[in-house]
Structure 1
């Protein structure tokens, strides 16, 4: 190991020590805050049952808070020195045994830990991303290990381990969840920040990061902060994921839309046509060089940075800046627009949204002429005209509520500034400014004004996004990319937690996904375990096709180490043994003795999985045939040692399962989900022909929040895409009346191909606006240079 490598490893180790010490240092204060919270809850008036529950929680906390603190501190120290991989899950011994599969009031241990991790990452995602980049650079790894203490899910697991081992219950956790989420989020964010700060002092990637800069310094003027967000990966393939330092980030753009899909074909054609028009009339603009890559900034310090006033530069230079006269004119125009908007909000409150929108249109038209007079080159004048034509079309879109169009109108000057400095705004449809407008537009554009009604939370988020963009005028595409990523996160949280129409359907769909993911993983592990075991084919098929689902349902409902789950695992081992060759009288007598309770357990398991009596009878008959074959010694015998080993593997099956985020769904194992239908959720199991690869690509790129017209089960109604599964294999749509319709991606592609699912927008908002602008330029191309 070279001296440089040794120093890097030492820096990484010291950063982990700083991170761990901050966590340990913050635990006593957290315990004190939770103690106060328990006492405050007990002091609040409530009905008798709730008051008794609070009394029990208070007593439990008084007994167990100190042991929990001690256990968690010990676990953190152990994880720092030895890694967290050997930490045992407390759910193996402390899970309640009467939880239902579908319930809004009870959450399994894994879900509690997952929600804690998500809550922590919502607060600390930017700091974690920057710390991860630095650790990757120091340790020369592609990513942090899954069991790395720096990961929020590892900390969440340690917290829950200590919680249940200390004797605290899930009901106490639920009562204190709000404080637990808040305090751990603050603590983990502080730990990440201190580790980042220490590394910056050591000279490790000491750049300034725009993202926390925006988050921590709200501009004046009443800008609202985003509500807590559920992290989720940016569904729809638009927002970039966390990447290594210097990779796709503030302006690297999203992956290209798959070629061959209707949306991408339309966008490519329109942008190519625009380039041809510019090449004829404004060659300077059409032949502008492609924008070079821009390095990703590093993190800001906790002390904060001054809020960026209009005209102040926060980021690096743009590809090609406008002339000083034009930049000054754009700054003046944006100030005028914001000033007038503030006057309308405070003085002219009687002004309706349509009236305010009409005034903005006229004002923007007047400002366009002022800006053109300040332009020095034909390219600048053409840019001003094109942006004005784009926004003219956008502001005339009747399916966007007037109140939202008012906020869209305020983006015209920030977009103009970007277009002047980054001419590729007119060359591609994936510029962050375009994608931001398209994403916000798709969420508020239904098939009519009634289906495009939006909630207060969504309107507030659009307002916040616009105000952030206005506050950082000279950061180019980076601020658009930043707020686009935040908007994607907001949508996931909004439809899951805030939207009354969709959140029930999302909860049901998540439960379906959890069960199906576990069933597939159980099937894979059972196949590995039985690959060299002589198991009769009928029994083997039953285990893979039926019993894996039963294990998944039981594991989700009761927990992997609950007695009910163990009984189902024992039934699998008993079935394998019973179906092996029985040559002795004693073995046959033992099979006959054990057969009735075994068949009852098999029926109970299938019943828990939602299987009807008719299908149960069919499976039992098939198994009886396998057992009969065993009595006639037509199957191979399984040695007792191999059977004991198999039972041991079944008992620890969960430890062999991959994490839900790892790998891809094995499409060959995906089954019919129609049995998951319930009140509020319909599962599409038929309709449409085998889809083409282009249609599959289209189905995978559909975005959360967008609207469609669905023809299914004799009804034609508008639906909104509100949720995508972890791997985009399941997609949920919800009607304005709350009807949830769940698709597997292949079935959705078939519906798109057959025209049974039609998008509300044939093309994105900015592509349509570009097409309208081209139509006007075809009539009068001289307006580009006028």
Structure 2
């Protein structure tokens, strides 16, 4: 049946009524929970000023809360048929539109409420949306559809302000509001889905028929032209607004990030489409939209070169057939390639390189103790006596002019059209890099000196034009990402250590002109090692944050491994479920904390292991009077140790009380249990296993850290380290892929806890499950992988660069070639 079938339309209308009535019924329960929260607030001790603020806020809630609940019920019923307008007028009241700043703040608050609701209701929403689209015959729900969390959140906020309540009261009840509204929406989704299933509407939801593949999810042979396809043109890709289906609206981050707000949406939307499209067997591994867009640019460059340059197609065939595979190495260590430098061209490149080298600032290699590359024999040779220093801006202008002159000289020395085209494209790439204003001029001078070494590689290895993974490209992109931050916002220049390392890298590459890919790969590896050491040991803003993040990872890794081994040990032991949960979810973390702080063989660690054994024995069935008396005798000192251990792990007194109450219930149940108790010899065996638990743990060097087993990391938060424990809906597979691709040293704009500030990626843990960002002021923010992907998807974490430095340069080169195709051969 079609989507306009009257029976299906009637079912859809009835489903919306079910959803609306479920919301209306739940509003009363939400009001009751808020009244209870208000009463509890008055009972909590606080400083005088805070106590007065709470009392005033509760008093206003008691007067206006009933009005808000009534307005919200009426507004929900109206919006069920008319949708949620941008500005709502309820019960004849004045328009709820406010001044610009207040409106933006309200949008931000509504977006955060929507994110909190969708954290719990994502899967129910996905099922309901799928069923409603089938019944109503639409491609997507309207943006103001009440079924969307974003629309409902906006309605809740509008009614809140219209009732006379203020942002102060909202913040006062924030946690309760988030919890209750999440529960309200989840129950409404669940009830509506249940009713539709009873009507026989998609009892088993299969999302595959609803996947809308974009152009980038087709076979590689049908990849569209990157310069023509609007899905990959930056001016359209980045202008689609922030957020996905229920993502937050965009809001300014200041001048430094104004150009990036639309980018997150383009990545999110294209990334989601890519993830769905890639689920087909022929598509293979899921790719992020960033990588897909870059590959589109490279594919377009190949097509242009093959179309315009005679003989270029044969030279590039190996790279086009397998763009991600490196060419085989010959026995001498150089890279084999389909083309080699001719004598005249080789001499011309050498001459151009020397000219560029001597026109730059005095080389570090001429100074005593200049660093050398550990991966290659010897170091960079000295360039002789220091030359006269030229002001950096003047050097840049000279380099631009010499770029044009050198290009013509090299083309005259070239013997084939393919060589002339390669020279032109490489010159265009570096012309773009030299004009990139976000790279400090002093660093651009050193980037310019890579032009001749890159030209050698491009002539000898055509896969330089076929893949973004070529080490020469990756080196330039990695160094560029470290220096292309939000400089105007951070108020800081490139660190002296980073600039010094860039200089060293360039000199090493210049010192080995005939080594090709091998020298680029060597210095790329060294540069990445330098970054790891720099953020751990040299960068004052990140040293403390990286140390704390490493401790968090060590603790979490141990806790996961302790949990796995405890599960194995207790697999066939008759222990109360409450005790099992305590051991797996709480005590494993206590053991990890104790082992990290005191050492695996410390007395306090052994004490915590003995407590685990005593707890296991106490929780098994006790059938004799003597055993029960023994449990009662052991219980007080055992509970004391348990409290001490939980205190070491950072559990609050309230959480400790909850855990002790649950354990008491489990131990009481053991007195009446009918199952067999643990034999003494089995208990001794368990104790022996606990004492040698570290010997059974797998080696952490393999990087096994499963994020699904990781606990709530918020307990690790401190003055110097913030842990992102909330925010963002479950990310798509493409967003997770994008999160995996982020590189140490890159800059981003982070919107978190009311702050919009530039941050730099300073550390990535094992298998990239944990990622640390640091602000210029030293504030560390730690993400788990899924939460990082969620922030990227919601536009709360925006990259400083729309795309990699060499990809952007390739786009600019393609635009100039398109305007003048003959320049490739002339």
Runs of at least 5 residues in structure 2 that lack an aligned partner in the other structure? 1-282, 320-324, 365-384
Q: Which residue is 1:411 aligned to?
A: 450
Q: Which of 474, 490, 493 does residue 533 from structure 2 map onto? A: 493
- 1:618 maps to 2:664: no
What secondary structure does 2:302 align onto? helix
After TM superposition, the structure 1 stretch with the greater mean CA deviation from structure 2, 374-383 or 520-529, is 374-383
Q: Which of 353, 370, 379 does residue 418 from structure 2 map onto? A: 379
Q: Which residue is 1:592 aligned to?
A: 632
- 1:561 maps to 2:580: no
Cα pair distance change 1:621/1:634, threshold 3 Å: farther
Q: Which of 357, 360, 372 does residue 399 from structure 2 map onto? A: 360
Contact 1:258/1:698 (8 A) holds in 2: no
Contact 2:559/2:588 (8 A) holds in 1: yes
What secondary structure does 1:719 align onto? strand
Contact 2:335/2:518 (8 A) holds in 1: no
- 1:290 maps to 2:321: no
Contact 1:372/1:381 (8 A) holds in 2: yes
Deviations 1:632-659 (A, max 9, x none): 2345411111111111111111110111
Q: Which residue is 1:147 aligned to?
A: none
Q: Which residue is 1:757 aligned to?
A: 797
The structural deviation recorded for 1:344 is 8.8
Deviations 1:162-193 (A, max 9, x none): xxxxxxxxxxxxxxxxxxxxxxxxxxxxxxxx
Q: Which residue is 1:333 aligned to?
A: 352
Q: Which residue is 2:476 aligned to?
A: 437
Pairwise CA RMSD of aligned residues? 2.0
What secondary structure does 1:637 align onto? coil
- 1:543 maps to 2:583: yes
Contact 2:360/2:445 (8 A) holds in 1: no
Cα pair distance change 1:414/1:443, threshold 3 Å: same
Cα pair distance change 1:469/1:350, threshold 3 Å: closer
- 1:277 maps to 2:304: yes
Contact 1:344/1:351 (8 A) holds in 2: no
Structure 1's consecutive aligned runs of 4 or more residues displaced over 4 angstroms after TM superposition are: 256-259, 291-298, 342-350
The 2-side partners of 1:612 and 1:314 are apart by 60
Deviations 1:178-232 (A, max 9, x none): xxxxxxxxxxxxxxxxxxxxxxxxxxxxxxxxxxxxxxxxxxxxxxxxxxxxxxx
Q: Which residue is 1:453 aligned to?
A: 493
Q: Which residue is 1:388 aligned to?
A: 427
Contact 1:285/1:423 (8 A) holds in 2: no
Contact 1:555/1:565 (8 A) holds in 2: yes
Q: Which of 688, 707, 717 does residue 677 from structure 1 map onto? A: 717
Cα pair distance change 1:278/1:468, threshold 3 Å: same
What secondary structure does 1:742 align onto? strand
The 1-side partners of 2:727 and 2:396 are apart by 44
- 1:604 maps to 2:631: no
The 2-side partners of 1:575 and 1:378 are apart by 80
Contact 1:258/1:264 (8 A) holds in 2: no
The 2-side partners of 1:624 and 1:487 are apart by 56
The structural deviation recorded for 1:667 is 3.4
The structural deviation recorded for 1:358 is 1.6
The structural deviation recorded for 1:590 is 1.1
Deviations 1:669-707 (A, max 9, x none): 211100000011000000000111111111111111111
Q: Which residue is 2:691 aligned to?
A: 651
Deviations 1:357-392 (A, max 9, x none): 222222222111111111122111111111110000
The 1-side partners of 2:444 and 2:563 are apart by 51
Deviations 1:231-289 (A, max 9, x none): xxxxxxxxxxxxxxxxxxxxxxxxx9965312211111111111221122114224423
- 1:323 maps to 2:342: yes
Q: Which residue is 1:104 aligned to?
A: none
Q: Which residue is 1:263 aligned to?
A: 290
* Larger of the two Rg values belongs to structure: 2
The 2-side partners of 1:497 and 1:524 are apart by 34
The 2-side partners of 1:437 and 1:782 are apart by 28
Q: Which residue is 2:776 aligned to?
A: 736
Q: Which of 740, 746, 751 does residue 711 from structure 1 map onto? A: 751
Q: Give the structure-2-normalised TM-score.
A: 0.61
The 2-side partners of 1:635 and 1:626 are apart by 14
Contact 1:550/1:608 (8 A) holds in 2: yes
The 1-side partners of 2:667 and 2:624 are apart by 15
What secondary structure does 1:721 align onto? strand
After TM superposition, the structure 1 stretch with the greater mean CA deviation from structure 2, 578-587 or 539-548, is 578-587
What secondary structure does 1:727 align onto? helix
What secondary structure does 1:661 align onto? helix
Contact 2:426/2:455 (8 A) holds in 1: yes
Deviations 1:388-433 (A, max 9, x none): 1000000111111111100000000111111111122112211111
The 2-side partners of 1:427 and 1:631 are apart by 72
The structural deviation recorded for 1:745 is 0.3
Q: Which residue is 1:639 aligned to?
A: 679
Q: Which residue is 2:138 aligned to?
A: none
What secondary structure does 2:700 align onto? coil
Matched pairs, number: 517
Q: Which residue is 1:421 aligned to?
A: 460
Contact 1:699/1:749 (8 A) holds in 2: yes
- 1:581 maps to 2:621: yes
Cα pair distance change 1:473/1:431, threshold 3 Å: same
Contact 1:708/1:757 (8 A) holds in 2: yes
Contact 2:553/2:770 (8 A) holds in 1: yes
What secondary structure does 1:723 align onto? strand
Cα pair distance change 1:506/1:394, threshold 3 Å: same
Q: Which of 641, 665, 675 does residue 705 from structure 2 map onto? A: 665
Cα pair distance change 1:632/1:483, threshold 3 Å: same
Q: Which residue is 1:144 aligned to?
A: none
Runs of at least 5 residues in structure 1 that lack an aligned partner in the other structure? 1-255, 299-312
What secondary structure does 2:436 align onto? coil
What secondary structure does 1:716 align onto? strand
Q: Which residue is 2:549 aligned to?
A: 509
